[in-house]
Amino acid sequence: MKTKIGLLALFFSLLAMKSFALQDIEVGLRLGVDLPTNVIGFYTDDGKYIPKRCDLDGRFNSINFAGAVVADFAFNDYIILGVAGHFSLFRSYSLAEKDIDGSEIGKTKVNFHTFALDIMMKGRMAFADDRYSLIAGIGLGPTLNTKPTYKQTINNQTERGSIDNGKLYVGLNLIAELGFSMQTVENQFIQFGVRTTLDVLAFTYNKGMPSASLNGQSAISPYNVGIFLGYSFRF
């Protein structure tokens, strides 16, 4: 009886392994540009705030260099598990500095870098003997923004430094991606496409100015649209 149960368990284990066996693995690199909406989040003893002047109004207020290392695990011709590590360098947010009479006398530019991990389920539609593919996916993953630094220019005098109470920021991205893949030679592909992110944790911040003294500041990117060009090799 135990032997029969053991053989039955082995049969179903092999069946499960076959069902989830990988058809192929594709690894690659991407380079491109990001167009994020960047804001400053303030921390106080009574909560977290994004001031109304930094409201989540959908502005793309920086254009910066971005890239990624990508690995796609295909279970069949249509279903792919994608894992990617992204970086986005020198994101920024600018604030006008004004005199007592309201005239602009300079500008403060806040800079930071973003690193993200994407875990996505993708669908692939191939045509022309698998030489071309349309790939769409959705997923989620953590994102990390470095401590913000600043460059301040007032009356033609410039000062640079780290924000004294700057903090790392950790968010959670919802991700959508659409791309086109074209085979160049056997097992090698060129891709281009669009990746968008929405940081859901950014919407847990209160609106308006804090009512208590500040004890920290972080840079946040609630929205981002990225355009990429990539190369990959399929095993």
Q: Which two tokens stand for residue 131?
A: 């030489």
Does residue 136 sit within a domain? Answer: yes
Q: pLDDT under 70 in the chain at which residues? A: 1-20, 52-60
User: What pLDDT was estimated at residue 3?
Assistant: 60
Give me the residue label for tokens 């032997």: 3
Q: Which two tokens stand for residue 164?
A: 């004294």
DSSP assigned state of 27: E
User: What pLDDT was estimated at residue 51?
Assistant: 72
The answer to whether 96 and 138 are in contact (CB under 8 A) is: no
Report the distance separating Cα 198 and Cα 195, nearest Å.
11
State the total domains in the chain.
1
183: exposed, middle or buried (C-beta count within 10 Å: 0-12, 13-18, 19+)? middle
Neighbours of 44 (CB within 10 A): 16
User: What pLDDT was estimated at residue 159?
Assistant: 85
Q: Where are the alpha helices (DSSP H) in the chain?
A: 2-19
Give Rg (Cα) of the chain. 23
Q: Which two tokens stand for residue 145?
A: 């923004």
CATH code: domain of residue 171 = 2.40.160.20
User: What pLDDT was estimated at residue 112?
Assistant: 95
Burial string for 55-67 (b: 16+ CB within 10 Å, else e) reads ebeeeebbebebb
Boundaries of domain holding 222? 23-234
Does residue 1 sit within a domain? Answer: no
Cα distances from 91 to residues 44, 48, 54, 112, 133, in angstroms, run: 24, 21, 15, 5, 32
Report the distance separating Cα 72 and Cα 81, nearest Å.
6
Does residue 129 sit within a domain? Answer: yes
The answer to whether 203 and 172 are in contact (CB under 8 A) is: no
Does residue 42 sit within a domain? Answer: yes
Neighbours of 145 (CB within 10 A): 24
Does residue 18 sit within a domain? Answer: no
Does residue 59 sit within a domain? Answer: yes
Does residue 13 sit within a domain? Answer: no
Cα distances from 172 to residues 141, 150, 195, 201, 223, in angstroms, run: 6, 25, 15, 6, 11
Does residue 186 sit within a domain? Answer: yes
Report the distance separating Cα 106 and Cα 120, nearest Å.
43
